[in-house]
Amino acid sequence: MNVYLTDGSEDCFYTAVFSACTDRDCVVTSARSLQLALGSTVLVVRADEEKCGRVKKKLQQYAPRSLADISLILRRDSPGKEQTALEYIRLIVQKKAPVGDMLSHPAVIAAREEKKKVTLEAHRFTGFLRFIEGEGGILYAPFAPDNDILELLLPHFLARFRGMPFIIHDTARGRAALYNGKECVVAETEKKVEIPLAEREAHFRALWKDYYEAVNIAARPHERQMKGYMPVRYWKFMPEKQ
């Protein structure tokens, strides 16, 4: 069995698909910790612009929306995401048509589940993301999502904070969106950075804690209900839970 090992990028994945789509007994993955079956052959894939372009062109011909679907699947933090995307592509190539409505097919079910997990997390973080004010009025929001959703959040916050400089920092992946009020870029960063706080930020953080204590009834703990409304993994960057 061939194992096509990619670097995790979309272009590298599509390059692997060029060969893997017709290689029925194979695995495509970017997981370095994959446990290999006996007799497996590892093929390290390097992104190839021509092969990548040919695969995308074929998908665009058969199912134009599939490229966006696959992009979402590849944002999952899952060792099987590339294989899920590969099976979805194979079905599209086989049918030579969109397959999103084939709701009982295993490849479609798996693809829809992966997409849902990515889009749902992105939707939740549009409400759960907390910004702090740094020196100079720059807003800074660290978060550690399960999936690679940084770019999916940008349209919402660019519209919400139009003209206001901000940084959204994915501390789990060491990537940040930097917006200067006019242009926005995504860059690689350290996973942990120190942001000098504005003088009034400490006051706002104290207000959050005071509000939390005011609405909380110590004699009637309701942590289970709290976790239902706000899962624990979102608490890390919330001042009232520090």
Dist. CA 197–CA 190, nearest whole Å: 18
Put simply, whether the predicted model's pTM sits higher than 0.85 gets the answer yes
Same domain for 135 and 108?
A: no
- Chosen domain end from 99, 120, 141: 120
Report, as an integer, the average pLDDT of 193-212.
Answer: 82
- Chosen domain end from 78, 99, 120: 120
What pLDDT was estimated at residue 242?
67
Same domain for 104 and 182?
A: no
167 or 198, which is more confident? 167
Q: How many domains does the chain have?
A: 2
Same domain for 140 and 101?
A: no
Same domain for 38 and 92?
A: yes
Angle at 237 between CA 112 and CA 149, to 5 degrees: 25
Same domain for 152 and 234?
A: yes
Same domain for 113 and 176?
A: no
Which residue matches tokens 């670097």? Answer: 7
Same domain for 58 and 28?
A: yes
178 or 198, which is more confident? 178
Same domain for 133 and 116?
A: no
Query: Which residues, in sequence order, are bridge partners of residue 26?
Result: 2
Domain enclosing residue 212, as ranges: 129-241
Give 156's pLDDT tier (boundaries 50, 70, 90): very high
Same domain for 104 and 133?
A: no
Same domain for 57 and 139?
A: no
pLDDT at 94 over 90: yes
| Largest separation between any pair of C-alpha atoms in the chain | 66
Dist. CA 161–CA 145, nearest whole Å: 21
Among residues 208, 207, 189, 204, the alpha carbon closest in space to that of 150 is found at 189
Same domain for 193 and 90?
A: no
DSSP reduced 3-state for 113: helix
Mean pLDDT (the chain, rounded): 91
Percent of the chain with pLDDT strictly greater than 70: 99
- Chosen domain end from 68, 90, 120: 120
Report, as an integer, the average pLDDT of 70-94.
Answer: 97
Give 39's pLDDT tier (boundaries 50, 70, 90): confident
Same domain for 89 and 174?
A: no
